[in-house]
Structure 1
Amino acid sequence: MAQIQEFLDIPSNCEVGNVIYKKLFYENMELKKADRDIFIKYVDKIRWCYSLKESNINIKKFQDENFEYDEIEFINVYLKGPYKLKRLADIIMRTIPYPMVLSFEYGNEIRIFTGHQRISLADSSKNTIEEYIYTDWIDLNNLDEIDKELFEGLKLQNLSFTNFYAFYNDIMEAIIKYNASKLTGGSHIVVPVDVMKSTYDEIKAIDYKIDSLRGQMKKETQFNRTVDLNMEIRRLKDKREELRGRLN
């Protein structure tokens, strides 16, 4: 089974290689039965692959009133089934209070999840996730040029070594650019990262709305209402193409 770290040139002295047992999440998160069932049904094994620290890599710690980045973790989740990933990511990233690159692996495919961890104002011993930034499934045995560019951008030598926050932020920005490139079918996007992110989010919201309207059309029995729904779908498609044009 392939691992994302094989593409990133992480030094061997950063390797941890420990298994993280599921009971860690059961005990620390006091999981409800539904969440525990997700772990039992879909998670095969969790491995703490690498830990980047100031002592093993030339990157400085970062701390301000909102963030405390002493290290970056690379954690792999090997799946029995490719489902409920967002919920699994939320549980894992909240249980282990370090910024992490979380990879879900199923067969030869992976999805990468990241998210800045902000110090909780209510409880300084806990962190909150600002927003999850993640990829769709990537087939490691069938990489296209955009996939290859993502992994090239994630190689350590192409990331900022100023401090761990800047380093991690570069990883997140590489994923944002990757997602935008997948939408346009090309990697040469020159708009600022925040524009990429907001445009990508708008397009995904439109896709969700279109899917919802198509579901309504299948159930609709009134012809006039079906026509209205179809016109709304066309309007949304035009809007989506307009947004895609902003990225090109």
Structure 2
Amino acid sequence: MSAADELYEAYVRKVPLALGSIGVESLEEAYQIQDRVLEMKINDNDESLRGYKISLTSEETQKMFNHDEPLYGALTNKNLVNNARYSDYNAPRLEMEIAFLVQEDLSVEDSAEDIIRKCLIAPGLEIPDGRYEDWFPNASKYEIVADSAVAGGMTFGQSDFSTYEKLDDIKGTLTLDGEVIKEGRSSEVMGHPAKAVKWLVEKLHAHGKIVEAGKVISSGTFNLPVELEKGYYEAEFENVGTVTLEVK
């Protein structure tokens, strides 16, 4: 069984793999596996590509995984959720993210300001979750990429157009059942979330892909991921708005 087959089976059956079992040793191979797993999700599991998530957007997380740039993964319709059941995941975490809802195709010629102009901006929460046992923070960067950058779930709130300045170094606050559990800033996301999206556009272009209108981008976390628990989460972002997620 190929590495892509193993990951797909782990995804469908919700039975995690042992770390090191798929034997991937390069980013090129890892992205090829990610593409193959996405093909199987679309062809065999009635899913559709809805967008992308960006991981390792801070220097701290890059050091954790011995890397020097972000990573990306595909999001399908089954990754976009309104609420969540804890039992649907393996070892889920939670992150505060800004969502970019693409209104016009994005190009490598676009500046960060152009990207914001072409997107609606929404407050978001992402549930990273890996198809490996004890994946965080123990999986390799190659295992992370092969597993679609550990795409689990994502939800976002009301969207609106914004500006580069309105997203610059803004604060995000995460609460669980009314108690503040985490704070972070958009400057943790490659200095500015739009810069992370620009990185994604350029990386996808190098892989022969484009970001089309209608796609959603989870641009990178304001905070180191916290362990997901059952309860009612709310994330408030300055100049953007509030998003909620109930985990049962």
- Range class of TM-score, shorter chain: under 0.3
The structure number with the bigger radius of gyration is: 1
Bigger RCO of structures 1 and 2 (CA < 8 A, at least 6 apart):
2
In proportion to residue count, which structure has more strand?
Answer: 2
TM-score normalised by the chain length of structure 2: 0.24
